[in-house]
Amino acid sequence: MLRSLYSGISGMKVNQVKLDVIANNIANVGTTAFKSSRVRFQDMVSQSMSQALAPGTSQGGVNSKQVGLGVQVAGIDTLVGQGMMQPTSRNLDVAMDGEGYLMLGKGLTPKGTAVEGTAAGIAATAKGVDLDTDNTVGGTNGLNLSYTRDGALTLDNEGNLLNSDGLRVLGYSVSDSKNVSLDYDTNGKAVSTYVDADGKSVTTSPKLLPLVIPGSIYVPTVAAYIIPATANYAAAIPQVGVVGDANYAAAVPQVGTAAINVAAVPAHTSRITTFSIEKDGTIKAVLDSGKVAVLGQIAMVSFKNPAGLEKVGGNVVTNTSNSGEPVVRSGIGTAAATDNSGSYGDMLQGMLEMSNVDLAEQFTDMIVAQRAFQASGKAITTGDEILQDIIGLKR
C-alpha cells in the first residue's frame, strides 16, 4: 500500500485532536479562571531509502534519502497566563492577581479539643493539614487536597467557606497571646473566638484548617484594670489588644491626676455585621460592638511547574509528579528570614479572574486545522485514485 495513505490518516488524526482542543477552549471562553490549551505536532519516524555516502576521491558525498511516515501529537500544553479581572462587587469573590492557587480540601473536618463558649487557647489543637519547615504539605490527616484559581466562594448554613462544588477552602487560624481565632471541637465543629485584628502579636498556626465565617463569635472576658494617676497615659494603658481600641491615649479622657477604674467586660457572644478579605488573604470581621476581629487567613499555594497540573473538572486542578509539590504562602506574623509571601500575588476582593482564551487566535487556529484536515483527506483520496489506476492496468 502507498505510504501516503497512512501519512494522510495520521494528519487527519492529529488535526482532529487539535480541533477538539480548540473547541474546548472556545466553549470555556466564559469560564472563570479557565486556562486555555494548545496542541503541538512532531513528525514520526522516517523510512530510509538509502544511506548517506561520504565524499570519495572520484565523487562527492551523497545525502541519505528518507520518506516521512506521518505526524503525531508532541504535547498538549496548558497556557497558565493570567486572565483579565472582572469586577463583581460581591464580598465573597476573590481573584488572584499574580502567582497562586486557592487550596481546597475534601473529607471530614479535623477534630480537636476546643469547647464552644470558651477561649480556644493559644494554639489550635485540631488536626489539620501539617506544613513542613519548607512550607510544603506534610500530613493531610484524611483531607484530599485540590487547587483552584476560581475565587467565586460561597458559605453554607454553618459558615463554612466553600467553592462552588462544596469543597472547603483551607487557611490559617490566627492567634494572639491569649486566644486563637479558629479551632475545632471533638465533634469536628468549628469554634470561633475573638482575636483583635489590630493586635501587634498576631501570628498564624503551623497547620491549615477549613476556614469558617460564622454568624457570631465568642468574646472572652476582659478583666477590670486601673489606669494610674499619671500624665503619661499612653505608657500607663495596658497592652494593645486587651480592650480592642488601638488609640488608647485618645480614647481615655484627660482627668489630671485622678486614676481611672475601667470595669471588666464579661464574656459574651458578638454578632458579625460584615467582613472583608485583605490582599494577603486575611479575613477581618466587624462585630456589632464595633470591634474588628480577624477570623483567619486564606492559604495560597504555588507550583514549580503549574503547566503540569492536571485538570479534574469543576475549575479544579491537582498536582502531578511533574508539577511539583505545592508550596504554601507564609502566614502573617512569620519571621522575615522564613517569610516567602513576597513571591505570591494579591487577593482582590469583589473581582473574578476571567478566562485567558483569545478568541481571535482560536478561530485562526481552527481555520488552519480545518484546512490541514482537508488536505490530509485529499492525500488519501489521491492515493486511492493512484491505486485504482494501478488496478486498472490489467484491463
pLDDT at 239: 46
Q: Does the pLDDT at position 242 exceed 50?
A: no
Q: Does the pLDDT at position 96 exceed 60?
A: yes
Closest CA to 347 of 211, 162, 153, 182: 153
Give the mean pLDDT of 287-294: 90
SS3 track for 251-285: HCCCCCCCCEEECCECCEEEEEEEEEECCCCEEEE
**Cα–Cα distance measured from residue 331 to residue 341, given in angstroms and rounded to the nearest whole number:** 8
List all residues 6 or more positions away from 395 whose beta carbon is below 8 Å from its beta carbon. none
Q: Does the pLDDT at position 240 exceed 50?
A: no
**Distance from the Cα of residue 87 to its chain's centroid:** 19
Q: Does the pLDDT at position 246 exceed 70?
A: no
**Predicted structure pTM score:** 0.82
Burial of 38 (0-12, 13-18, 19+ CB in 10 A): middle
pLDDT at 157: 92
CA-only gyration radius of the chain, Å: 32
List all residues 6 or more positions away from 125 whose beta carbon is below 8 Å from its beta carbon. 112, 113, 114, 183
Q: What is the mean pLDDT of the chain?
A: 87
Domain ranges of the chain: 3-45+68-80+356-394, 92-218+272-353, 221-266
Q: Does the pLDDT at position 152 exceed 50?
A: yes
Q: Does the pLDDT at position 131 exceed 80?
A: yes
pLDDT digits (tens, 9 = 90+) for 20-72: 999 999 999 999 999 999 999 999 888 888 889 899 888 899 998 988 899 99
List all residues 6 or more positions away from 28 whose beta carbon is below 8 Å from its beta carbon. 34, 36, 355, 357
298 or 390, which is more confident: 298
19-28, 69-78, 123-132, 351-360: lowest mean pLDDT where?
123-132
